[in-house]
Structure 1
Amino acid sequence: MYVLSECMEDFGLKQDEWLAGSSISAIDSNLIEELVDFGTFRHLALRAAEMANNPTIGLAIGQRLSLHSHGILGYAALNSATLRDAANLIESYISIRMPLVDVRSQSIDDNFVLMVEEKEPLGDVYQFLFDGLLLTLKNALLQLLPQLREHITVHFKTAPHPNFPYQSVFGDAVKFNEPFAGLSGPEHFMETAIPHANALAFQEAESLCRKAFEQIVQEHPLTTKTKKKLLEAPGQFPTLEVLASYFNMTPRTLHRRLKSEGTSYKQILDDVKLSLALAYLADSEMSIKEIAYFLGYDELSNFRRAFKRWHGTTPSEYRATQRDETS
């Protein structure tokens, strides 16, 4: 959020107007290491793109970020012995910097592939987030091994932004409408030694990454488990009572525990329904009535009201804007 706020300043936009309606009153350098919830992130990302009248603002953020911007995870990556060690590190601990995505490292033919996947549907902020994230990852790999510059291919699942100078930012090897989002390059680079790596510094930094990861898991264990259970059964969401039985506790105890984590069953269910609705409206051929029924609404009007409460637009308006952007 701090880097995004700097971009807003570059566009000559006022921070207080950008933050209006969010849970954050001001952003300064003290927030660099802070994570924000998805609702706040989504609100501020969309607000930034709207105020700047610039749908490529995610790429502007990616251009600003380096490994030094990513705290202890970036420091650990810089001190990794090889690119494979750095990739494994990012795969294990990406959630301490970006909890909305997973990174998977694998070999396909003679290439390494770093695949980036959303943990749950991101809907209308998918392209904003992945624009910045893929550019950040590319810059990170070049920071570790500058000789990769002519060998990295960047893969976008989305179509390109019209008139954006991709070649000047990414080089010639950038592909769109791909089956996955991520980066790829020759496999042999994975075993290349990273210059100036320090084994002791890596061990200390990796230990701090592990502690940060464990802290995140411990702070919101039931919220994470509840969301996971709900996403496992779209269209047949388990009730509070059924979830409580999964977790071997009473419904009252589950309610109390979720409240202590700053949320509730209803809030988590609404978040899951919204993320699924955004994905189905943007990427499926299901009718709005079918989506409403799939998400557990007997009446289409109830789904319309709920979606407008969550998103500020109707389902049909949102679907129309998504199709306009991809046409």
Structure 2
Amino acid sequence: MASKELFTLDPGTRALLHDLGISAARVLRRAQLPAGLFAHGAVTMTPEEYYRFWEALDAEAADRDLAVRIGRALSAEAFNPPIFAALCSADLRTAAERIATFKPLIGPVNLDITSDRTGLTVTVHWPQGPPPPALLVTAELAFWVALARIGTRREVNPTRVAMRRAPKPSAETTSYFGTQIREGQADAVTFSAEDASLPFLTEDESMWDFFAPELRRRLSEVEAFTTTADRVRAALHERLPAGESSINTMAAQLMLSPRTLQRQLQAEGTSYQAVLSDTREKLARRYLADRSLPTPQVAYLLAYDDTNSFYRAFRRWTGLTPEAARNGTDLTTT
């Protein structure tokens, strides 16, 4: 799970690049990112890494109207869960409010939603530091147009589109938005009050009721994961059942070198081995509380090479064997 300072690169990005006729491998290579980046589902990135990806995408495509192509290529199937859930909303205004709430699941971007009789304005606030690539900003604004059109099945055009670093005018981009992108004090898109209230034909409140609890749970987790140690724990929860526990594997998952990962953990007063051991102990207690799981299976889920290694580790943590702990100890104690 990503922290508040991380972007999530959705695995659907790979399909989107394919639809755009752009080589994902070439983009990753140009961005100096791991070739197998899309192999393990969603990947978290620092803003610098995420921006580098978008800059590489822009350079690889060499198309000044790429953001428009991205907007036109978007579909309900390509959206990640928070966005798909927003399509269940009654209208664009409601969808914008929901997306603003759950935007941290996608990245450290804050959305200000202003809605009144004059219209609906979505303003995007990026993380502090280097400015985001122009392609990323334009694609973000194009996304809102795509969302409005997919939801209403109508050719909705915003009344105003502004960027702090507006690109040179393009007939294709102006045609897509229905208005020219202008210089502004913030990156924002405005829709008329009438268009913001158009009913979404994709509305499905029962589906929203299904999505919302899980989204809220994930949001609380995101807000809790603020340190490198927390990021490592989250990665271990995902990778240990696959038999992977090495620092090299976890560093690759977090888009860091093993040396950088260890240095960041040391700055937090811990080490990779300490986080690994603590995570395994907590998971061991949880697994052993489920008496349907035999001890060898617990050892497997914790990525131990053999059951004896797990026995030695558990005795080191608790002074007990797993069986003794199951028979006489509160395994929820940490």
TM-score by length of 1: 0.58
Partner of 1:255: 268
User: Root-mean-square deviation (CA), in Å?
Assistant: 3.6
Partner of 2:240: none
Alignment of 1:263-278 (within 5 A): none
Q: Structure 1: how far apart are the matches of 2:89 and 2:193?
A: 17
Alpha carbons 1:5, 1:27 under 8 Å: kept:
no
Deviation at 1:132, TM superposition (A): 0.9
Partner of 1:118: 126
Q: Structure 2: how far apart are the matches of 1:164 and 1:47?
A: 24
Deviation at 1:126, TM superposition (A): 3.1
Structure 2: gaps of 5 or more residues: 1-8, 231-264, 276-334
2:165 alignment partner, SS class: coil
Deviation at 1:146, TM superposition (A): 3.5
TM-score by length of 2: 0.57
Distance 1:164 1:7, change over 3 A: farther
Deviation at 1:219, TM superposition (A): 2.2
Partner of 2:205: 199
Alpha carbons 2:162, 2:188 under 8 Å: kept:
yes
Count of residues in correspondence between the two structures:
231
Partner of 1:244: none
2:190 alignment partner, SS class: strand
Structure 1: gaps of 5 or more residues: 225-251, 262-327
Partner of 2:140: 133
Alignment of 1:1-327 (within 5 A): 3=13, 7=17, 13=23, 15=25, 18-19=28-29, 22-28=32-38, 31=41, 33-54=42-63, 56-97=65-106, 99-107=107-115, 110-123=118-131, 125-147=132-154, 149-150=156-157, 152-161=159-168, 163=170, 165-171=172-178, 173-220=179-226, 255-256=268-269
Decide which structure has the larger Cα Rg and report it. 2
Once the two structures are superposed, residues 79-134 of structure 1 have per-residue CA deviations (whole angstroms, 9 ceiling, x without a partner) of 1133332111011011212x1321111135622211112132342x3312101111
Alpha carbons 2:27, 2:56 under 8 Å: kept:
no
Alpha carbons 2:27, 2:60 under 8 Å: kept:
no
Alpha carbons 1:154, 1:174 under 8 Å: kept:
yes
Sequence identity, in percent?
12
Q: Structure 2: how far apart are the matches of 1:64 and 1:119?
A: 27
Once the two structures are superposed, residues 132-172 of structure 1 have per-residue CA deviations (whole angstroms, 9 ceiling, x without a partner) of 1111111001212244615543333323335452233222x
Q: Structure 1: how far apart are the matches of 2:191 and 2:69?
A: 24
Q: Structure 2: how far apart are the matches of 1:129 and 1:258?
A: 35
Distance 1:76 1:258, change over 3 A: farther
Once the two structures are superposed, residues 255-305 of structure 1 have per-residue CA deviations (whole angstroms, 9 ceiling, x without a partner) of 2269889xxxxxxxxxxxxxxxxxxxxxxxxxxxxxxxxxxxxxxxxxxxx
Distance 1:221 1:210, change over 3 A: farther
Distance 1:16 1:154, change over 3 A: closer
Distance 1:114 1:21, change over 3 A: closer
Distance 1:181 1:14, change over 3 A: closer
Alpha carbons 1:145, 1:194 under 8 Å: kept:
yes
Deviation at 1:58, TM superposition (A): 4.2
Distance 1:13 1:194, change over 3 A: closer
* Aligned amino acid, residue 36 of structure 2: A
Compare the two structures and name the one with the higher helix fraction.
Answer: 1
Once the two structures are superposed, residues 45-70 of structure 1 have per-residue CA deviations (whole angstroms, 9 ceiling, x without a partner) of 22333344345544443332234322
Deviation at 1:41, TM superposition (A): 1.6
Distance 1:29 1:56, change over 3 A: farther
